[in-house]
Amino acid sequence: MTFTDDAAATAEWVASYLGGVRDLPVLAQVEPGQIRAALPASPPEQGEPFQAVLADLDRVLLPGITHWNHPRFFAYFAISGSEPGILAELVAAALNVNAMLWRTSPAATELEEVAVDWLRQLLGLPDGLHGHIEDTASTSTLAALAAARQLRPGGAVLCSEHAHSSVDKAARLLGLPLEKVAVDAEFRLSPAALAGRLDGAAAVVATVGTTSTTSVDPVPEIAELCAEAGAWLHVDAAYAGSAAVCEEHRWALAGVERADSLVVNPHKWLLTPVDCSVLYTSRPDVLRDAFSLVPEYLRTGDEDVTNLMDYGPALGRRFRALKLWAVLRCYGRAGLQAVIREHVRLAHLFAGWLEAEPGWEIVAPYPFSVVCFRRRGSDEENETLLERVNATGEVFLSHTRLDGRYVLRLAVGNLRTSEGDVRRAWELLQSL
C-alpha cells in the first residue's frame, strides 16, 4: 500500500465514523482494563501495515471510546471536532513544524498572530490585545498567574467558589496562596465579599461561564476593585467566551477590556478539535518577563519578530493555529453564529420542557447552552436516574453539586446535535 492508499482509507474511515457516530453508544460501555487486555503487551518486532492500525481502531479501540464528537454527548461542556479542524490537524502533522521561534517556522508564528487576531475581532475584544495559543485553559491560566506573580511575588490569588479547579492547580504550582470568595444566589462572585480582601493580592480570576452553571462573574465591578488594589485581573472565559461571536451574548464580556488577561478555548465551543486555548493579554511584556529564557542554541538575532516560546511554559509548540484558522475561514462569522445560536435555542427549549413538567426543577439561570436541573426528590434518586440514563448508551449527561444538592446538567455543544437528540434525552429522563 502506498501512502496515498492509506490516506484514502483513513479519510474514508473518518468520513464513515462521522457519518455513523450517532449510532454508537455515547459513553464507552467497557470495564477498566478491558481495552488494555485486548492489545498486545509488547510492540511488534517487524513493522506492520497501517491497515492493521485501522482494523484495530474498529475492533479494539472504538468500544472503549467515549464519543465526544457524538450529537448526544451532553456532559461537561459538549464540543465538536469540525471537518475543517480535522483536516487541518492532518496537514499540521504532515508539516510537523515546531513553532518555538519565529525562525523555526515563520508561517506558523505569523498565522498564529493572524488567527488569534481574527478571533479577537469576532469576539468584539479591544484592539491591540496580544494573543497566543496554548494547549488548554489550564496552561493559559497558569501562564497568566505566572505573569501576575512577577508583579506581586507571593501575593494571593482570589477566585469564586465556582471557579474551575485549574485555578487552584495553577496557584498550587506557582506556590501562591489561594482564597475562595463567596458567590451570590446566582453563583456569581460577590464583589462585596471580594472588597477589602485585595491588599497585597497578586491576582483575581473572574469566570465568564462557570463550569457548573455557566454563571458570569460581574467583571466590571471586579475590575474596579483590582484597579484600586493593583491586582492582576485574569478572566476565565474558556467556555462562554465563544458565545461573544453573537452580539446578543457580548454582555457576558463586559468589563474584560480592563482585564490583564483573558482565556477563551476554541476547543470548547468553537468547533476546533482539542487542543486549542487562546490566552489574550494587554501586558505581553509581563508575560515575557515570566517566561522568556533563551539558551545559546536558540539565539537567532532576528529583530521585530515574535518568538512564541517567550509567552508560555512550553518550548516546543504544535501548529495549532492552522486548525483555528481553518475553522474561522470555513465557517465565517455567520456560520459560527448560527451554530452558537442553535445550541442556545436547543438548551432553552429543553429548559422550557422542564419548566412545563411538574416534578422537575431548574436550579440555576441558563444564559448559554447548559441547563442545571433535578427531579424533585432525593439526591440518591437523581444519581440513580443519571446512571440509568447514561447506561442506555443513547445519551451522556453529567452532574454537579449546587448548594449541597446533587444536580444534573445538560450541555449542548456538538455541531450535529439536533432538536430530536435533545428531545430523546428528555424522553429518557422522563421514562427512566
- Burial class of residue 112 (count of CB atoms within 10 Å of its CB; 0-12, 13-18, 19+): buried
Contacts with ligand PLP, 296-335, as mask; x by CB under 6 A: ----------------------------------------
Complex with ligand PLP: residue 237 or 339, whichever CB lies closer? 237
What minimum distance in Å lies between the beta carbon of 213 and ligand PLP?
11
Size of the site for ligand PLP (CB under 6 A): 15
Q: Taking CB under 6 A as the rule, does residue 160 contact ligand PLP?
A: no
| C-beta separation of 268 from 239 below 8 A | yes
Verify binding: residue 238, ligand PLP, rule CB under 6 A.
yes
Stretch that binds ligand PLP, among 24-32, 106-114, 231-239, 376-384 (CB under 6 A): 231-239
Comparing C-alpha atoms, which of 261, 265, 236 is closest to residue 136?
265
Binding mask 27-46 for ligand PLP (x = CB under 6 A): --------------------
Q: Could you tell me which stretch among 14-22, 178-186, 206-214, 294-302 binds ligand PLP (CB under 6 A)?
A: 206-214
Name the residue nearer to ligand PLP (CB basis): 112 or 236.
236
Task: Count Cβ atoms below 10 Å from residue 254 Cβ, excluding itself.
Answer: 14
- Quickly tell me which residue has 457516530 as its cell: 21
- φ, ψ at 79 (rounded to 5°): -135, 170
State which of residues 104, 105, 207, 307 lies at the interface with ligand PLP (CB under 6 A). Answer: 207
* 80 near ligand PLP, rule: CB under 6 A: no
State residue 302 phi and psi, 5-degree precision: -65, 135
Rounded Cα distance, 213 and 186, in Å:
9
Q: State the number of CA atoms in the 13 A half-sphere of 125 facing the CB.
A: 30
Q: Is 83 helix (H, G, I), strand (E, B) or coil?
A: helix
Options 73, 187, 232, 239; binder of ligand PLP; rule CB under 6 A: 239
* Helix runs in 38-178, H state only: 50-56, 83-95, 106-122, 137-151, 165-174
Residue with cell 429522563: 429
Q: Which stretch binds ligand PLP (CB under 6 A): 233-241, 349-357, 364-372, 386-394?
A: 233-241
Question: Is residue 269 a contact residue for ligand PLP (CB under 6 A)?
Answer: no
Please report, as ranges, the residues that interact with ligand PLP according to CB under 6 A.
Answer: 77, 136-138, 164, 166, 207, 209-211, 236, 238-239, 265, 277
